[in-house]
């Protein structure tokens, strides 16, 4: 069933809407944490997938005022661009270091170059999209098979280093995620239906989304645990600080002045904060030095924090 009088199937349109929704919420979350590099990698993947779902399944359309050759190049280009990014995503997101060559150079040689030679230059010259697509997809198809082999091999080696239920689950999910992406060039090469292409492509993305959510939850738990530990340490330090102040018989006023000194405030700022004169602050500090047995502010803070 086609939607809005275009070449796009209803299933494809549903996936596009679903992925737009994910993109919106993930982008909002990324704005609050721009240092989250894995979320950025995921957002780029999502944008490329949306580009493929729209470009490859909406084009070519005779109602669009663009040359059919140009539309076909855009349609295939969206798929090749996404395919070129997949190895880089696995390399960075899952720390698969042996994919470095495939991610940085292999995609240029075995994906981008065939696209430029056969589907940009060759197709523009003879106008035969069937011949161009078969030639242009053959090398990426072989590359996809080798890519799967390398990923499986590294995942297996990582699993051997530390065998536990958590790593086994992660290894299985990663392997399941890469399979749909790797067979996509075969599906396109065999000229399967749009529904088959969309199901294969988006199933891989759904599995990768599950991995990403799983990693995010795990990271959030670790972050929360670290925050709790830091809060506990800070409370213990504060309690130790208060006990030391009492140990040296510091008054409430003197304790307050010490805390402001610890924050880095000058005598003038302390006086303004406590609504007293700067001279009074100086006298209090002299008394504090005598009680604690120190001669300067650095020694004072170090001794009270000990």
pLDDT tens sequence across 50-82: 998 888 888 888 888 889 999 999 999 998 999
Task: Return the pLDDT at 166.
Answer: 63
Task: Return the pLDDT at 12.
Answer: 86
Residue showing tokens 């199933």: 203
What lies within 8 Å, CB to CB, of 234 at 6+ separation is none
Please report, for residues 96, 152, 153, 160, 167, the alpha-carbon distance to residue 157 in angstroms, rounded to integers and kept in the order given.
11, 9, 6, 5, 11
DSSP H stretches of helix in 33-67:
37-58
Higher pLDDT among residues 14 and 167, named by residue: 14
Task: Return the pLDDT at 165.
Answer: 61
- pLDDT exceeding 90 applies to what percent of the chain? 18
Mean pLDDT of 140-154: 87
Confidence of residue 119 (pLDDT cuts 50, 70, 90): very high
Q: Please, what is the average pLDDT of the chain?
A: 84
In terms of residues, how long is the chain?
306
Of the segments 120-124, 181-185, 215-219, 278-282, which one has the largest average pLDDT value? 120-124
Please report, for residues 125, 126, 127, the alpha-carbon distance to residue 61 in angstroms, rounded to integers and kept in the order given.
21, 20, 16
Q: How far is CA 227 from the centre of its chain?
A: 21
Residue showing tokens 């008054």: 251
Structural element, H or E, at residue 264:
none
Q: Give the DSSP letter of residue 2.
A: B
Write the CATH number of the domain with boundaries 248-305: 1.10.10.10
Cβ pair 288, 250 in contact under 8 A: yes
Confidence of residue 164 (pLDDT cuts 50, 70, 90): low
Give per-residue pLDDT as tens, 263-290. 888 888 888 888 888 888 888 888 888 8
Q: Give the DSSP letter of residue 94.
A: T
- The structure tokens listed for 264 are 């880095």
Task: Return the pLDDT at 167.
Answer: 63
């Amino acid at each position: 069933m086609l939607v809005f009088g275009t070449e796009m199937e209803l299933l494809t349109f549903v996936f596009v809407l679903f992925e737009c929704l994910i993109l919106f919420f993930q982008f909002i979350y990324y704005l609050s944490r721009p240092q989250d590099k894995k979320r950025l990698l995921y957002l780029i993947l999502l944008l490329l997938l949306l580009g493929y779902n729209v470009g490859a399944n909406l084009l070519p359309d005779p109602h669009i005022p663009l040359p059919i050759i140009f539309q076909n190049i855009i349609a295939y280009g969206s798929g090749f661009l996404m395919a070129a990014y997949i190895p880089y995503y696995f390399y960075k997101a899952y720390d698969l270091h042996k994919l470095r060559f495939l991610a940085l150079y292999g995609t240029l040689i075995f994906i981008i170059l065939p696209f430029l030679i056969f589907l940009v230059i060759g197709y523009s010259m003879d106008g035969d999209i069937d011949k161009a697509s078969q030639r242009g997809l053959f090398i990426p198809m072989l590359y996809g098979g080798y890519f799967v082999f390398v990923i499986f091999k590294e995942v297996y080696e990582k699993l051997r280093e530390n065998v536990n239920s958590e790593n086994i689950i992660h290894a299985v999910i990663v392997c399941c995620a890469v399979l749909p992406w790797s067979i996509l060039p075969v599906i396109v090469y065999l000229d399967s239906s749009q529904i088959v292409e969309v199901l294969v492509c988006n199933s891989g993305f759904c599995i990768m989304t599950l991995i990403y959510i799983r990693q995010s939850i795990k990271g959030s738990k670790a972050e929360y645990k670290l925050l709790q530990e830091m809060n506990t340490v800070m409370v213990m330090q504060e309690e130790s600080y208060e006990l030391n102040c009492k140990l040296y018989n510091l008054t409430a006023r003197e304790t307050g002045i010490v805390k402001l000194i610890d924050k880095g405030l000058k005598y003038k700022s302390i006086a303004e904060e406590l609504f007293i004169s700067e001279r009074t602050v100086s006298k209090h500090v002299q008394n504090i030095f005598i009680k604690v047995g120190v001669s300067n502010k650095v020694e004072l803070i170090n001794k009270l924090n000990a």
